[in-house]
Structure formats: structure tokens, C-alpha cells
Amino acid sequence: MRFGEEWPAKYDLSSLRILGSVGEPINPEAWEWYYKHIGGERCVIVDTWWQTETGAHMITTIPSYPAKPSKAGKPFFTIEPAVVDSQGNPLPPNTVGNLVIKSPWPSMLRTCWGDPERYEKYWTAIPGQVYFTGDLATYDEEGYIMILGRADDVLNVAGHRIGTMEVESALVDHPAVAEAVVIGKPHEIKGESIKAFVILKKGVEPSDRLKEDIKQHVRQVLGAIAVPDEIEFVEKLPKTRSGKIMRRVLKAQELGLPVGDVSTLED
């Protein structure tokens, strides 16, 4: 998206049949671009959700399923996920909650190397003897699950809980933006303020006027409470080799805190 559709248009992609997505929740704008300019509006996008601890894909859009933009798909065979509140109570469709797995599965890890207490927390954080993934999610009436990001990535702005993916999707929806990440910063009055790190599409020049235009776009899409207080234009974002954006690295650098383990960083 950043470099424009003219790049994939230079090549014959007609032999492609299936596309994949993994690492980060894919926002609707990126999904649609991928589907149109890489897949030629004919290729299935196999989105997947899994963790190192799960040992295998847990939720996925199997090629025979109808695909839905930005939704990871349905549970893989025998997997029993659920979206629940903090007490383990099931939530109705289209309600944001904690993603859990209700029963064990063949490929699951049985501990964390050198940190067994951490593994125990996965199974005790939510009542009901369920595996807490640490992710927020929703599901629709057809059982398609949308991953909204980490539960600890939720922003608390003036008493409102806002998912990072919501704000990031609104930012990427702006025609000048290729990629975006948001973090929360301590704020005396609001609790947290929102700072956005934005990668612009090729050929777009950064400016203060563009920052204001992007803020207005977020205001129109999500409302005033979700508008970033700060926008910083950057050339790249810290990512792992599998594509996960390491928001904690950005936050640590922004607040002058220890960055911690960065062994999985691609760059």
C-alpha cells in the first residue's frame, strides 16, 4: 500500500490462488487493497490467528469459507474459542471481550521455559478453567471472529476504553496513510493521551497541515475521544520477523523506559 498499486501491476499475478495474512490483525483497508491489487479480486485471503503457545493455527479463514474483510475466520476443527467478560461469562455477538479457548488441544504447550508461573496465569486469569489468550475479540452471528489486539493495548482516554486497532484502522483509512500504530501516554487529566506513529504512502509529503487533516479524519470516523493528541511521521516501525508490531518498544522509547528483550525484532 505504501508504495502504490503500480508495483504489483507491473507483474503477472494470475497464477496466484491463495493469499495469507499473519502476525497482526489486518485492518479492512489493508484487506481490501490486498484482495484487489495482489489477488485480483479472485484469490482467497487465508487469515490466521495463533500464538507460539498454541503450537498451531487456532482460528482461520479456510479457503472454502466465504472471506470477510479483517476477520480472522472461524475456529479450526476441534478448537473451542469463546468471547467472555473478565468473569468468564459469555458475551453476545458483536461485543468486545476477552478471547479464550475453552478446552485443551493437541499442539498446546504445557509450560513456559524457565517461567512456569507465567503459564499458570494463562489458565487462571479468567474464571472457568479456560486458556486466556490475552487478546480482545468479537464474533458475528455467523461465528466469524475478529481479533482486535492485545487486552493490555487498550487505551483508557477520559474513562473511555478504546482498542488500538480501532484507532489504527481509522488512521489507515486516510488516503495518505500506509501504516499506523498508536500508544497511550500518561496524561494528568485524561488518564492517557493517544500518540500515533504514521508511515505515509510513497510520494506524500509530511506536514503539519496533513497531521490536522488526519486528525479530522479520525474524528469523523470514530469521534473526538479517539483523535490522537500527537502524530509523528516515521519511515518504519519495530516489528518481529513474523510481522507483529512491538508497541511496547515504541512506548518504552517514548517514555524513556527500558526497552526490554528485543531479540525477536527484525530490525
| 33, 118: one domain | yes
Number of domains in the chain: 2
Give burial (CB, 10 Å; 0-12/13-18/19+) of 15: exposed
In angstroms, rounded to a whole number, what is the distance separating the alpha carbons of residues 125 and 131?
Answer: 8
- Distance between CA 53 and CA 69 in Å, rounded? 26
Alpha-carbon radius of gyration of the chain: 19
Q: Which residues contact 263 (CB under 8 A, 6 or more apart)?
A: none
SS3 94: coil
> Phi, psi at residue 222, to the nearest 5°?
-115, -25
Q: Which domain holds residue 123?
A: 6-151
- Could you give the CA distance from residue 49 to residue 138 in angstroms, rounded to a whole number? 13
Q: Residue 78's pLDDT is what?
A: 94
pLDDT, position 227: 94
Same domain, 74 and 140: yes
48 and 146 belong to one structural domain: yes
For residues 59 and 81, the answer to whether their CB atoms sit within 8 Å is: yes
Residues 252 and 260 sit within 8 Å (Cβ to Cβ) = yes
Is 59 inside any structural domain? Answer: yes
136 and 26, same structural domain?
yes
Q: Do residues 245 and 238 lie in contact, with contact meaning Cβ atoms separated by under 8 Å?
A: yes
Residue that has been written with the C-alpha cell 510513497 in this structure = 202
Residue 147 inside a domain? The answer is yes
> Are 14 and 128 members of one domain?
yes
263 lies in some domain:
no
- Residue that is last in its domain, among 136, 151, 166: 151
CB atoms within 10 A of CB 111: 12
Query: Do residues 110 and 74 both lie within one domain?
Result: yes
**What's the pLDDT at 253?**
87
Q: What is the pLDDT of residue 212?
A: 96
Whether 100 and 89 have beta carbons less than 8 Å apart is answered as no
Any idea what the CATH number is for the domain that residue 208 is in? Answer: 3.30.300.30
95 lies in the same domain as 64 = yes
List the CATH number of the domain containing 22: 3.40.50.12780
Predicted confidence (pLDDT) per residue in 120-153, tens digit:
999 999 999 999 999 989 999 999 999 887 887 7
How far is C-alpha 4 from the chain's CA centre?
22
Q: Give the pairing of strands 191-200 and 230-233.
A: parallel
Domain boundary among 102, 135, 151: 151
Do residue 144 and residue 181 come from a single domain? no
Give me the residues of the chain with pLDDT under 50, please. Answer: none
Last residue of a domain, one of 97, 125, 151: 151
| pLDDT (0 to 100) of residue 70 | 85
Task: Look at residue 194 in the predicted model and tell me its pLDDT.
Answer: 94
Q: Is residue 261 part of a domain?
A: no
Residue 264 within any structural domain of the chain: no
Does residue 37 contact residue 12 with C-beta atoms inside 8 Å?
no
CA dist 72 and 67 (Å) reads 9
Are 76 and 195 part of one and the same domain? no
Are 89 and 214 members of one domain?
no
Residues 174, 131, single domain; the answer is no
13 and 82, same domain (yes or no): yes
